[in-house]
Every structure is written in C-alpha cells, then in structure tokens.
C-alpha cells in the first residue's frame, strides 16, 4: 500500500510542475485535464503526508519518553498515546481512498420514479420523493431538468423522469435505486387506518453518445398529439414522440415539450441511459458469482427504505439506520443517509479486497 502511495505522491508532484509550465497553461484543454488529475489526487496525497508526519512525530516522541526530565517524559508519553490513536484512523482512510473508483461516479444521472402498489397514494408519494430529490439537488447546486412525466388525478406522479447534472451526482445518488415504501394514513381514509404503498426509484448514469451507440435502423419513431391528465389537449400539433428500440424492446415516450425535436432528443437521452443500465446490469450478473464485493443489485424489487409517517421515522434496511426526522429528510436533508450508505459499501469493498488477498 505504501509503495503505491509514494508513487501517487510523485505523480502529484509531477502534475504540480506541469500546472506551472507555460506550455501547459497555453493549451486550455490539456490544462483542464492536468488540473483535474491533480485535484483527484489531492485528498489521498494530503492524507498520506499527514500520516508520514505523524509517524515521524511518533518516533521523535518515543525517544523523548526516555528523557531524564520527568515533565518532558510525561508530555512525550501523552503525545505518543494521541498519535497511536490517530494513526490507525488515517491508515483506514488511506485504504478507502485507494479503493478502485467507480468510473460512473463523475456522471450526471437520469432519475426515474414510478408509483407501484398503492394506487393514488403511491402516486402522491412518488411526487413527495421527486420533490425530496429536487430539494437535495438545490443544496448541492445541481441542475434538474424534467424529461418526462405522467401525472395522476390527485397531483402525484404515475411516473416522472428527470435529469440531474452537477458535480459527482451519480456518486451521491447511486444507492437510491430500489423500492421505497411509505406507511401513512391517506387523506381519503376516513377510518384513520395506515396504508402501505410502494414507489420504485431508478438511478441511471447519463449515457453520452460515446457510451452507447444506437443504430438508427434499430429505432422506430412514432409521433402523435400530446395529451395531459384527463385527456385534455396539451397542444394541437403532433409533438409527442414514442421511440421504440427494436432489439431490446425498450419504449420511451416524451411529450412534455411543445417541440417534436426536443421531445425526440429527450427520448433518445433516456433510451441511451436505459441501454447503458441494461449493459451494466448484465455485467454485474456475470461478475456476481465471483465478486462478493458487489454492493447490491439496485434491483427495483428490493425494498431499500421505509418512510413511516405516524412514527416520523425513516429506516434504511440495508444499513439498519433509522432516523426520527422524516420531515427534514423529505425536505432534502439526505446527507446522513447517503454518507452512511457510502461508508457501508466502502467497508464491504475493503472486506472483499482483504478476502481476495488472503
């Protein structure tokens, strides 16, 4: 591990020299690549340098524990104790920082939310979840763009698809895929009984054209007149677009825009991301037997979280974390949940790495 860290530190120093090179500064594309590589290494190098400095401080203080002055010995012993407590924490942090990164972590995402069992109540909760993710995106200064939606009669969503763009969006939201369960008394329930409904969430890294090549001959594109809830006309032109990917059977419908061209562009964007997700899932299934480090399937049938309104609690079943502040969670205060999930899956990855090395 330490040989690798030394190598990364040398690379970091080389990149620092490059950033001050006039030739690099004059080529903005190259400069951006170097600056990003430098920034990507900054945390692991800073942590490694702190570790090395503490190790040196430990040696010096261990020598001072033999000092003839009792006061100096006592001071050195206290320092040694403090450093010995901190070094294992830093070593663990370095192991986490050296874990292979998910190449998709830098990607923007497509968020898909669908009402499941529970009818109108599920559709209303799909709307609650969509607002929750939008509010979280605001706190991170991410951009949210509605791609497609199908509203229910009471103001919820049967389905809503949005793109979320910003810094490392996928790395924060990738563990949200799965079934989200809500337990509450619906507004229409006269007896005060608690109903259980389910909503499925899918988080897909946004696929660029370079990630997924689509043969135009594999597509069937139909256009028709858009319609809103209850069948009322949204506009009077054939602007709605249905794209069918013939080899996979995937169908994407977009009708939120008044322009046929914009709806088609959005539909193709959604299609590319779904095809990328299918390819990722295929690879995951192939690797699962031999790789116990896999961090959950993200399968939509897998119940991952329960939102219990009568008790004001949110429980994430994967990490056994329960928070009794449902209201703030639904307002987008999600970092405690996300940090817990990331820490859990990092620990799983470290365990798998140790098992593989044994």
On the question of pLDDT at 236 being above 60, the answer is no
* Residue 322 β-bridge partners: 315
Residue 163 lies in a domain: yes
Query: What H or E segment, with its residue span, contains residue 162?
Result: strand 157-165
Q: How confident is the model over 145-174, as a mean pLDDT?
A: 90
Q: In terms of domains, do 257 and 321 share one?
A: yes
Pairing assessment for the beta strands 303-308 and 178-184 based on DSSP bridges: parallel
How far apart are the C-alpha atoms of 12 and 20, rounded to whole Å? Answer: 13
Q: In terms of domains, do 14 and 152 share one?
A: no
Q: In terms of domains, do 73 and 217 share one?
A: no
On the question of pLDDT at 345 being above 80, the answer is yes
Domain boundary pick from 97, 132, 167: 97
Residues near 350 by beta carbon (within 8 Å), at least 6 away in sequence: 95, 96, 99
Q: In terms of domains, do 188 and 40 share one?
A: no
Q: How confident is the model over 57-86, as a mean pLDDT?
A: 90
39-68 pLDDT, tens digit per residue, is 888 988 999 999 999 999 999 999 998 888
Q: In terms of domains, do 197 and 149 share one?
A: yes
Residue 140 lies in a domain: yes
How far apart are the C-alpha atoms of 358 and 353, rounded to whole Å? Answer: 9
Residue (of 287, 341, 293, 354) closest to 314 by Cα position:
341
Q: How confident is the model over 222-235, as a mean pLDDT?
A: 60
- % of the chain surpassing 90 pLDDT: 38
Domain boundary pick from 97, 132, 164: 97
On the question of pLDDT at 294 being above 60, the answer is no
Domain boundary pick from 51, 70, 97: 97
Provide the number of structural domains found in the chain.
2
Residue 278 lies in a domain: yes
> pLDDT tier at 297 (50, 70, 90 boundaries)?
very low
Which range marks the domain in which residue 284 is found?
109-288+300-348
Residue 222 lies in a domain: yes
Q: What is the pLDDT of residue 34?
A: 87
How far apart are the C-alpha atoms of 212 and 232, rounded to whole Å? Answer: 36
- CB atoms < 10 A from the CB of 52, how many? 15
Q: In terms of domains, do 327 and 279 share one?
A: yes
> pLDDT tier at 228 (50, 70, 90 boundaries)?
low
End-to-end CA distance of the chain: 15
DSSP reduced 3-state for 1:
coil
Residue 119: exposed, middle, or buried by beta-carbon count in 10 A (0-12, 13-18, 19+)?
middle
Q: Which CATH number belongs to the domain containing residue 25 in this structure?
A: 1.20.58
- CB atoms < 10 A from the CB of 282, how many? 10
How far apart are the C-alpha atoms of 331 and 322, rounded to whole Å? Answer: 17
Q: In terms of domains, do 212 and 84 share one?
A: no
How far apart are the C-alpha atoms of 220 and 248, rounded to whole Å? Answer: 12
DSSP structural state of residue 234? S
How far apart are the C-alpha atoms of 331 and 329, rounded to whole Å? Answer: 5
| Phi, psi dihedrals of residue 220, rounded to the nearest 5° | -115, 125
- CB atoms < 10 A from the CB of 296, how many? 17
* Residue 179 β-bridge partners: 200, 303
Q: What is the largest CA-CA distance in the chain?
A: 94
Q: In terms of domains, do 133 and 55 share one?
A: no
Q: In terms of domains, do 64 and 119 share one?
A: no
Q: Which CATH number belongs to the domain containing residue 235 in this structure?
A: 3.30.70.1660
Chain centre distance of CA 86: 30
Q: How confident is the model over 91-110, as a mean pLDDT?
A: 86
Residue 338: exposed, middle, or buried by beta-carbon count in 10 A (0-12, 13-18, 19+)?
middle
Residues near 161 by beta carbon (within 8 Å), at least 6 away in sequence: 110, 111, 112, 113, 146, 147, 148, 149, 270
Residue 158 lies in a domain: yes
Residue 338 lies in a domain: yes
Residue 228 lies in a domain: yes
Q: In terms of domains, do 92 and 203 share one?
A: no
Residue 293 lies in a domain: no
How far apart are the C-alpha atoms of 38 and 23, rounded to whole Å? Answer: 17
The reported pTM is: 0.70
């Amino acid at each position: 591990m330490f040989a690798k860290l030394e190598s990364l530190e040398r690379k970091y120093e080389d990149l620092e020299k490059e950033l001050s090179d006039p030739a690099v500064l004059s080529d903005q594309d190259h400069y951006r690549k170097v600056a990003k590589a430098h920034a990507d290494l900054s945390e692991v190098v800073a942590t490694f340098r702190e570790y090395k400095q503490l190790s040196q401080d430990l040696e010096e203080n261990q020598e001072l524990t033999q000092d003839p002055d009792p006061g100096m010995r006592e001071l050195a012993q206290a320092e040694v104790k403090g450093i010995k407590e901190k070094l294992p924490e830093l070593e663990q942090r370095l192991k986490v920082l050296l874990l292979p990164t998910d190449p998709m972590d830098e990607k923007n995402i497509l968020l898909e939310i669908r009402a499941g069992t529970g009818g109108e109540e599920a559709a209303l909760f799909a709307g609650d979840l969509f607002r929750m993710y939008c509010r979280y995106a605001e706190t991170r200064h991410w951009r949210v763009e509605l791609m497609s939606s199908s509203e229910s009669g009471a103001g919820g969503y049967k389905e809503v698809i949005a793109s979320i763009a910003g810094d490392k969006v996928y790395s924060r939201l990738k563990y949200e895929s799965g079934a989200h369960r809500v337990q509450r008394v619906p507004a229409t329930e006269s007896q005060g009984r608690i109903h259980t409904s389910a909503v499925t969430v899918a988080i897909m890294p946004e696929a660029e054209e370079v990630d997924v090549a689509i043969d135009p001959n594999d597509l069937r594109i139909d256009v028709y007149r858009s319609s809103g809830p209850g069948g009322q006309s949204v506009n009077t032109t054939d602007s709605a677009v249905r794209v069918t990917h013939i080899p996979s059977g995937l169908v994407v419908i977009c009708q939120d825009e008044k322009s046929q061209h914009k709806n088609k562009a959005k539909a193709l964007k959604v299609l590319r991301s779904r095809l990328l997700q299918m390819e990722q899932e295929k690879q995951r299934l192939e690797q699962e037997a031999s790789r116990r480090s896999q961090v959950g399937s993200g399968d939509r049938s897998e119940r991952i979280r329960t939102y219990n309104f009568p008790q004001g609690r949110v429980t994430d079943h994967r990490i056994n974390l329960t928070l009794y502040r449902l209201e703030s969670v639904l307002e987008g205060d999600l970092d405690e949940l996300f940090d817990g999930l990331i820490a859990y899956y990092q620990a799983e990855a470290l365990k798998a790495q140790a098992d593989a090395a044994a």
